[in-house]
Structure 1
């Protein structure tokens, strides 16, 4: 049942060598993901001389994020579970697959990975802006919150179905691909409206480096709410009465 296995943890648990190794893996995976995803947008802007958005730009962003997330999840899967997203970590926490103490360590690593990726992009491109996520004209903050809730629900539901569910069987092999695909598809659906973040860390890095915080709270509230709803729905309806579980039993996430 949702919330029945929530664990708080403590400093000793959060400072264990395996936790710190997992945090480093999350940092590296996030750096890989954001560098490729944000970098693809910067490359498009350079090629079009900061021209108006176009369908081709949206498709290229979708492909870049899908491929990069597939790799980032895959390389972190055996070490940290390959969350690569604070919202996914929160969804795993709600289901009892990671303690709150470990979650904070993951969140810090994920946010730092995003910031470092954006700093590197800013440096290697000669100071080009790492654009913060923003709402399109006519899109209200609550429109965007609902967008983020629905898209992140789809992402975390996919994580549960392909990576967490103990009945997943061989489908777990394609979990990183499925996770990358749902993110790419959601970017096609929501990218023209609010940027389709689904990931607070992905929004945080560019906001820090560009120091642009307009409506930034949208990209935290929406993903965390969507992740919690997905975790509750999947745990409540599709996972059988649980046996004792530990975080180490989680093979992959996104």
Structure 2
């Protein structure tokens, strides 16, 4: 099982860490801009975002932009774009606690800026928020988000992180994009299929609509952490050098 590494407080000032933080901001900004923008565009079309055509368009847009943005950031920051991914990799010992916190802050800020810009560029349209569908209670919503995010992180580990992966080099992000699109088609009508607290935070902040918002932190973070723990414990063969741990503070 992977061991959680605290890291050093000096890590935040290291050039590679600063570059990684900026990459997470930029990639998350571009991901959310395209993802939320596609939902806003679908909402203006015949049938709206709640129609099968609208849902499919949103799923395809997310699949494409996730694949591209992970590829763009993979060699700089790992291309997380998502606090749940960051937590899943933290649990597996692939990123330190210090860097994880900085990544999550960058992801949230990137999402918020993307939604603010979208609101301005669309003439003041509200950014659509993730909420539970009628007839779906909190427990069902949380479990749905746990399962969908588990699927996402399991794919990240199997196609990108695992040193024995059979995925051709560079193809992992595309497969991750595919599973994001598939999960939106499966869960979009029920929980919204967020799988990403930062993706949900930006629209909620800009529209100032926090309905059911906690579901999109609890579910994805549990699902991401669980996937990282299970994959590291049962499936991965460690060949990398463990991250240095800061003894003080434990």
Relative to the length of structure 1, the TM-score reads 0.92
1:150 aligns with 2:156: no
Say which of 74, 78, 83 aligns to 1:77. 74
Tell me how far apart the structure 1 counterparts of residues 138 and 103 of structure 2 sit (CA, whole Å). 27
- Structure 1 residues 235, 117: CA separation in 2 closer, same or farther (over 3 Å shift)? same
Query: Aligned-pair distance for 1:40?
Result: 0.6
Alignment of 1:16-165 (within 5 A): 16-48=14-46, 51=48, 53-165=50-162
Query: Aligned-pair distance for 1:241?
Result: 5.0
Relative to the length of structure 2, the TM-score reads 0.94
Query: Aligned-pair distance for 1:246?
Result: 4.3
Alignment of 1:162-173 (within 5 A): 162-168=159-165, 170-173=167-170
Q: Is the Cα contact below 8 Å between 2:164 and 2:237 reproduced in 1?
A: no
SS at match of 1:171: coil
SS at match of 1:195: coil
1:10-62 superposed Cα distances (whole Å, 9 cap, x missing partner)? 321122111111011011111111111100111111223x8572110110010
Contiguous gaps of at least 5 residues in structure 1: 248-254
Tell me how far apart the structure 2 counterparts of residues 170 and 182 of structure 1 sit (CA, whole Å). 15
- Structure 1 residues 217, 172: CA separation in 2 closer, same or farther (over 3 Å shift)? farther
SS at match of 2:133: coil
- Structure 1 residues 76, 170: CA separation in 2 closer, same or farther (over 3 Å shift)? same
Query: Aligned-pair distance for 1:172?
Result: 4.1
Give the 4+ runs in structure 1 shifted more than 3 A: 169-172
User: Paired residues, what number?
Assistant: 244
Q: Is the Cα contact below 8 Å between 1:162 and 1:172 reproduced in 2?
A: no
Tell me how far apart the structure 2 counterparts of residues 8 and 101 of structure 1 sit (CA, whole Å). 6
Tell me how far apart the structure 2 counterparts of residues 133 and 241 of structure 1 sit (CA, whole Å). 37
Query: Aligned-pair distance for 1:214?
Result: 1.3
SS at match of 1:194: coil
Query: Aligned-pair distance for 1:211?
Result: 0.6
- Structure 1 residues 190, 246: CA separation in 2 closer, same or farther (over 3 Å shift)? same
Q: Is the Cα contact below 8 Å between 1:119 and 1:209 reproduced in 2?
A: yes
Query: Aligned-pair distance for 1:170?
Result: 4.8
Tell me how far apart the structure 2 counterparts of residues 243 and 81 of structure 1 sit (CA, whole Å). 15
Tell me how far apart the structure 2 counterparts of residues 241 and 156 of structure 1 sit (CA, whole Å). 18
1:228 is matched with which residue? 225
